[in-house]
A = this chain, B = another copy of it.
């Protein structure tokens, strides 16, 4: 009998591969050569969670490792409800599902609102991993350009890309990567468009409180008349510095959507009980934790923006929220520059790992000169990073301005 070949699925082979992976190998190689790499490439903050979280984790050995309810542990659901109430948002336990981070909430959002072949409108640039999550759901992301200075798109920009397969708009506010914060008026305009066209409004609110001038970003849950349309994707990872706990939430007042989401959640049985207890502690922690967090990022982002603004040829704008800075660099190709910084450059034994922005666009060719810097290290180190980037840009052979 001849040998019969075996192949993985096409969808497994065709997953959008991330340029970050190639850079990660270069960073590892640099570190093996003894170079100190400042990792500004991942949204993994250096800050500690609220002290209430550590206190809750002290009881981990006493928590029974049994399946939690698929929707979530009652006390954690109640902590989410109380947390939203602090922002004037009334949701019930039945409107909520505790998820394994924003990642699972996002996956549930696509699966419950879109069928294979359906389209989701998303302002670009956008969080790059959206691509993989939609690919595996068989859904297509249709990019909608932001306005100048990464301003929210007008409703017309969405209208221009509407087809009979459009099922949802996906927003992220405060935005990763651009820091764009959608005002209540922005959301009302886009939400009204969604309602008029029978679209879901999927709102990723992972960075809610991290807004530099003013109150936390308006939640899509606060919009009137959109109860059946809004699905919120939430996460404790960034605001409570619990990336590794993998706790988020999926929130909607559309009970058909919630029923489908719960049935999907039942397939994975439950989210770990220990982290759910810790999440409850974070959600009910003293509010000054978030105040200090925002102060920290405001200061860090200011340092990076001011430092970059003083480098000749660099164009940078202060973000309104989140903790990323996205400068345009005087380089031929930010992917090549990022790789060069890791493989061919060091100053005083140090270099910087940045994220090229090309992967954050759906439209080919965009973002070629932009990089994303995550302000997730101490301010003194961020100042040093600026110096390193200045020297790197001076020496980079592909400099073009």
What is the interface of chain A, defined by CB distance below 8 A to chain B?
1, 4-13, 15, 17-18, 42, 44, 49, 53-55, 57-58, 60-61, 63-68, 100-101, 103-104, 107, 111-116, 118, 129, 132-133, 136, 138, 167, 195-200, 228-229, 241-246, 254, 256-257, 260-261, 263-264, 266-275, 278
Contact = CB atoms under 8 A, between A and B. Distances in A.
Contact of A274 (B4, B112, B269, B274): B274
Contacts of A268: 100-101, 103-104, 107, 246
Contact of A6 (B5, B138, B200, B242): B200
B9 A113 contact: yes
Contact of A244 (B7, B15, B100, B273): B273
A24 to B, nearest CB: 10
Nearest to A197: B4
A115 to B, nearest CB: 5
A267 B103 contact: yes
Given A260-B13, A260-B15, A274-B274, A228 B6 contact: yes
Given A11-B111, A270-B244, A67 B49 contact: no
A113 B104 CA distance: 21
A225 B222 CA distance: 59
Given A9-B114, A244-B64, A244-B66, A15 B272 contact: no
18 contacts: A6-B199, A6-B200, A6-B229, A7-B256, A8-B112, A15-B264, A57-B61, A58-B60, A60-B274, A64-B244, A68-B244, A103-B268, A103-B269, A107-B267, A111-B136, A132-B263, A244-B270, A246-B269
B1 A196 contact: yes
Given A100-B268, A103-B267, A246-B271, A256 B65 contact: no
Given A1-B196, A65-B49, A198-B4, A246 B272 contact: yes
Which A-B residue pairs are the 3 nearest by beta carbons?
A12-B260, A60-B60, A4-B198
A118 to B, nearest CB: 8
B263 A17 contact: yes
A335 to B, nearest CB: 19
Nearest to A7: B256
A198 B103 contact: no
A61 B64 contact: no
B114 A241 contact: no
Nearest to A195: B4
Contacts of A18: 266
A296 to B, nearest CB: 17
Nearest to A56: B61
Nearest to A252: B8
A243 B69 CA distance: 12
Nearest to A1: B196
Contacts of A44: 66-67
A302 B58 CA distance: 40
B61 A115 contact: no
A107 to B, nearest CB: 8
A51 to B, nearest CB: 10
Nearest to A131: B267
Contacts of A196: 1, 4
A16 to B, nearest CB: 9
Contacts of A115: 9-11
B229 A274 contact: no
